[in-house]
Amino acid sequence: MRYEIVELLKEAAPGFVSGQELGRRFEISRAAIWKHIEELRQEGYSIEAVPRKGYRLISSEDRLNSYEIANNLSTFIVGRKVEYFDTLDSTNNFAKKLAGEGCPDGTAIVAGQQIAGRGRMGRSWDSPANKGIYITVVLRPPMAPEETQILTLAAAVATAKGISAATGIGTGIKWPNDLVIEGRKVCGILVEMSSEADRVNHIVLGIGINYSQADDEFPDELKHRAISLRMASQNIKEGSTKEMSKLSVIRSVLRELDSCYQMVLNGKHKEILDMWKKNSVTIGREVRFTMGDVEYTGIATGITTDGRLSVDCTDGKRRDLLSGEVSVRGIYGYV
């Protein structure tokens, strides 16, 4: 009921709604209304109470909770169930637990902070409170394990589209699914899978976005390699970006994930690959990678139909790389 109260206050804003009117609408006492208002304040809603006027919602902008994220999201699969936590050790770890308990396809976990965030290749992911966006989605695609590389690329495409729709900020995709702005990393995506020999049990798709960090708030080893959406918006010509809201970015990313996931399920892999290639900052560049104990260099020339990165190496051979096997770096820097 308390979120229905929020909606009524939103509709009336910036005006007031009396406790008597709220009590009449919900057929409860004014004392019960006051109790719900106090619970909403504890969740972070800014609600003003004035004698003989009633209650007024001052602001709900960027109020993160399961209700605000899921309300009118209008997705078909991703985000139909949302769980929000102020702090988790890792959204991927929690998602694996829910997946093992049978949570539905598309369940989304969002956290305000991770104390043990992880990236690809076992690296840690810096996840400070209120500075980033940390999302994991549980997927249950009817696919064989060897077919799932397309989901890794689709996740990058969807996240890039979601960020652009919510902020007006364009990002490039570094193979397979890092998002970069001005050559610096703004988003990392970690895909982990539980499978049998011939089928996928579940996939947990974790997304970490640097949202509001200042340059000097990144760890020393990440300075000059990382960027936040807030930093990027300050570097872009005024008027070309949108008013930023963490909530709007989360909702936009979930919508685009839902759209791209449906494309994958409907066999529209070529469309996903075309969108990935359009945003790629890797194709056409000289790259370095290690396969086994051997380091190679070459030119990244394209993507195969099953989502592998094709590299024409200096030894004259073409190698097609799977994202889980190698880490690609540009010759002259991160990209």
* Residues 28-85: tens digit of each pLDDT: 998 999 999 999 888 878 899 999 899 999 876 667 889 999 988 999 999 999 999 9
Nearest to 84 by CA among 251, 320, 314: 251
Among all chains, which residue has been given the structure tokens 């056409």?
Answer: 284
Q: For residues 335 and 329, give the distance between their C-alpha atoms in angstroms, rounded to a whole number.
A: 6
Q: For residues 263 and 272, give the distance between their C-alpha atoms in angstroms, rounded to a whole number.
A: 8
pLDDT at 89: 87
In this prediction, the residues of the chain whose per-residue pLDDT falls under 70 are 60-62, 116-129, 236-242, 324-335
Query: 2-59: which CATH topology?
Result: Arc Repressor Mutant, subunit A (1.10.10)
Tokens of 116: 């043990």
pLDDT at 228: 94
Q: For residues 184 and 171, give the distance between their C-alpha atoms in angstroms, rounded to a whole number.
A: 10
Helices 246-265 and 149-167, axial angle in degrees (round to 10)? 140
Residue 188 φ/ψ, nearest 5 degrees: -125, 150
pLDDT at 291: 83
Tokens of 326: 């190698």
pLDDT at 104: 97
Return the C-alpha torsion angle 244, 250, 251, 254, nearest 10.
140
**What does pTM read for this prediction?**
0.86
Say what percent of the chain tops pLDDT 90: 63
Cβ contacts of 188 within 8 Å, gap of 6 or more: 119, 120, 125, 177, 178, 179, 207, 208
Domain boundaries, the chain: 2-59, 66-279, 286-330
Helices 30-42 and 19-26, axial angle in degrees (round to 10)? 100
- The correct CATH number of 286-330 out of 3.40.190.290, 2.120.10.30, 2.30.30.100, 3.90.1640.10 is 2.30.30.100
Among all chains, which residue has been given the structure tokens 């209304």?
Answer: 33
Residue 85 φ/ψ, nearest 5 degrees: -135, 140
Instruction: Provide CATH code, domain 66-279.
Output: 3.30.930.10
How deeply is 18 buried, as exposed, middle or buried, from its count of CB atoms within 10 A (0-12, 13-18, 19+)?
A: middle
